[in-house]
Structure 1
Amino acid sequence: MTDPLDFGPEVPQEPPKGGRSWTRFVLECGAAVFAILFLIALLLPAQRNVREAGPRIQCKNNLKQLGMAIHSYYEVYGSLPPAYTVDANGKPLHSWRTLLLPSLGEIALYRTIDLSKPWNDPANELAFKTALPTFQCPSANISPTQTTYMAMVGEDFCFHPTRGRTFSEIKDGMSNTVMIFETDSDHAVHWMSPDDGDPKWFLSFSEKNPISHKGGIQMTLMDGSVRMFDVASPVAIREALMTIAGGETVGEF
């Protein structure tokens, strides 16, 4: 007697074409997509770091060039350039940046400038309209003729307002004294302007300021070296780096 529940011999299921089930195919596609997305997630920060590193290196090279130009100026004149030149009435005329032009290989441009007239006088229009990349950080969101590179100006700082300063006055050490520092884009000035803002900005800047580099600013020390200065650095270290003869202990920075 035939068992009513016996449906006959089991018929093997034919595998799908290509040897894979649809479920397996979907899982493999999903894994591939996940792997691609994972690789993209890994690569994006690296690409961002590369994009940030290029301008930061160029900015460092600019500041290094300025440091070398200042030392070259010193060899010729026996002192640093004054922060600015003045007229007979003491009115500022031209910045230290203008005085450095010959040391930066910009002799032809320097010769077009009438130093007896203010930096923004019509007689100095050619230089006024000239953009000099050496004075500008590539990451700074400013116009081509502006700069965020400022001298540390003051009676107790590297650049004396109106006269050249000698190395012998740098009592705190050449590697512990700031010569040039980056400010933020809000405080940028024309590169010819005899204005370096308030050096006290250096004491209080933070990530909240529109600085050009994530985490800090770059600065040129008196020995010509360029360092990145962290936004988290304490005020005591900032004060010590600013002065030329304060006698402070700088420590690590």
Structure 2
Amino acid sequence: MLLIKTLRTVLYVLVLMVAAPAGDSANGQDRKEGPPHAVLINDVAETHPISAYVEPSTMLVAEVDWQTIDVDPLFELIQDLSGDRPSDVPTVKQLFGAMKEAQAGKVYFLAGLETPADKMPLIVIETPQATKLLAAIENILGKRPASVTALTSNRGMILGTAEQIKRVQSSAPVKRDALLMPLKDANRLDHTAVLVFPLQTRELLTSVWPQRLPGGLPLNLSPSELVQGIDRVILTFRTPPDPLVRLMVDATDEASADRFANQFAGIKQAFGESLQNVSLRREKNRVILEAGDDVFRQGRSLASDARERARQSQLVNTLKQLGLAFYIYHDREKHLPPRCFVDPDGKPLHSWLVAVLPDLDNLAFYRSIRLDLPWDAPENSQMKRTVPAGVGDSSLPVAHTVIRAPVFPGSLWHGDGPPKTLQDITDDRSQTILLAEAPSGDAIHWADPTPWMISETNPVEDLFAGREAMRVLLADGSVLRLKRSDVDNAKLKAMLTIAAGD
């Protein structure tokens, strides 16, 4: 998961920071023609393109070969591992298209001790059409913060804060082979990041990092001892559809390398199945970990299982809150929520969920709703943007929910008469369904009053739709995990009706 977040961060830095608008000194933004040194992008045959911008305090350099990134499978992997539905794919594709038009080469990021204060790394982009690329980026991403400055030439451009640019212009380049040599390694993968730990930095981190990890973690590691023996960390990786990640830790001496190898082996053992396919090997003072497609496949499966457990836990909590809200609503209104709000002509306007918003700590939001207008009317646009806590699901379209009110002959929600009361529920409340976890295909916007009609002849199929189990809210306020194997159509009909004597 940490690896994927790292990959995603690299992409987002590219998307969110590269856009420095051209020539608008009035608003504080500045685009200058000409390099900070004699040559902006040096002859690759002579030296590395970013060697002119490496300072004594530089600790991190990263190289991103954007032309090797297949956006769709990368974001698909991110979604599978994180559960988030990425919305950035079209923007990233537009950005890559603009970079292709401008014949852009690789993108480099440089960071050091000053970067936290700068709030962004220095960015170097190889391109013979820097001005064109800047204009295209501004068109795609809009205006950027006034703090971002761009310098362009016919060989490339650099982006950074005014202070970063000033440092680059005023300081002479320094030779940092430990940083740059890995970027010339023929065996590196498509994208590479190098982090060095000079002696002063190691001593500083050793003094401030804890001796032991926080309690509760299944690891016996000392962060301060760990950093004391690290000379350099190299991360090189390839993105999907054929992902591969290689992490190399260069130790200061053989004893430190032994310690790292043992600690990484302990981490693998502690996390068991999730890291079993990560390879670990030793080459002199270097410890190498490698994760390929099999690790990511396993990660997808484990992440999916973890998300489903979290989703089910959240669903149970939400159903319990709704059960309590129903009883509070009944105490106040002397009846249970209606299936939907309707206008004078009987046209449905809002779902039952809107009625209990005040009882879910959403009174202010409830008061902002025009109940006399449909939920999707322009005057109720806030309903499309706002989702009551616990009702939505990141795997569904925005604001959609699987918490539905099953409409079945004789159920709480059947018929167009006045809302029913608790006294109308004469069947055993501990066996009477009020709400159910619908199949994802029946998910709906939480405020949409469209009814969820359940077949009278085959309610099992409508409710389960191929699933082995679902959660239901019962009339006594409890939540039950109902297994398909435990019910048939007759049993389910009895649970859906409220006063059938069954």
Q: Structure 2 counterpart of 1:224, which letter? A: G
**CA displacement at 1:204 relative to structure 2:** 1.2
- Higher relative contact order, structure no. (Cα contacts within 8 Å, ≥ 6 residues apart): 1
The equivalent of 2:51 in structure 1 is none
Going from structure 1 to structure 2, the CA distance change for 1:101 and 1:207 (only over 3 Å counts) comes to closer
The answer to whether the Cα contact below 8 Å between 2:316 and 2:479 also exists between their aligned partners in 1 is: yes
Quick check: 1:167 aligned with 2:422? yes
Deviations 1:82-130 (A, max 9, x none): 1011111111111110111000000111111101111111110012221
**Length-normalised TM-score, structure 2:** 0.38
Q: Structure 1: any 5+ residue segments left out of the alignment?
A: 1-35, 249-253
Q: Structure 2: any 5+ residue segments left out of the alignment?
A: 1-268, 277-297
Once residues 112 and 221 of structure 1 are traced to their aligned partners in structure 2, the CA distance between those partners, rounded to angstroms, is 31
Once residues 245 and 149 of structure 1 are traced to their aligned partners in structure 2, the CA distance between those partners, rounded to angstroms, is 23
Mapping of 1:224-239 within 5 angstroms?
224-232=477-485, 233-239=487-493
1:40 corresponds to which of 246, 268, 273: 273
The equivalent of 2:54 in structure 1 is none
The equivalent of 1:195 in structure 2 is 450
Quick check: 1:241 aligned with 2:500? no
Once residues 386 and 431 of structure 2 are traced to their aligned partners in structure 1, the CA distance between those partners, rounded to angstroms, is 34
Once residues 63 and 192 of structure 1 are traced to their aligned partners in structure 2, the CA distance between those partners, rounded to angstroms, is 16
The answer to whether the Cα contact below 8 Å between 2:435 and 2:472 also exists between their aligned partners in 1 is: yes
Going from structure 1 to structure 2, the CA distance change for 1:148 and 1:47 (only over 3 Å counts) comes to closer
Deviations 1:18-72 (A, max 9, x none): xxxxxxxxxxxxxxxxxx7xx639x989987655322211110011111111111
1:85 corresponds to which of 327, 337, 341: 341
Once residues 194 and 51 of structure 1 are traced to their aligned partners in structure 2, the CA distance between those partners, rounded to angstroms, is 28
Q: Structure 2 counterpart of 1:120, which letter? A: D
Once residues 498 and 479 of structure 2 are traced to their aligned partners in structure 1, the CA distance between those partners, rounded to angstroms, is 17
Of Structure 1 and Structure 2, the greater strand share is in 2
The equivalent of 1:10 in structure 2 is none
The answer to whether the Cα contact below 8 Å between 1:82 and 1:161 also exists between their aligned partners in 2 is: no
**CA displacement at 1:246 relative to structure 2:** 1.6
Going from structure 1 to structure 2, the CA distance change for 1:206 and 1:114 (only over 3 Å counts) comes to closer
Deviations 1:186-239 (A, max 9, x none): 111110111232123742148754x5xxx3110000111000111222112111
The equivalent of 1:19 in structure 2 is none
- Give the SS at the match of 1:228: strand
The answer to whether the Cα contact below 8 Å between 2:406 and 2:436 also exists between their aligned partners in 1 is: yes
- Give the SS at the match of 1:69: helix
**CA displacement at 1:185 relative to structure 2:** 1.2
The answer to whether the Cα contact below 8 Å between 2:405 and 2:413 also exists between their aligned partners in 1 is: yes
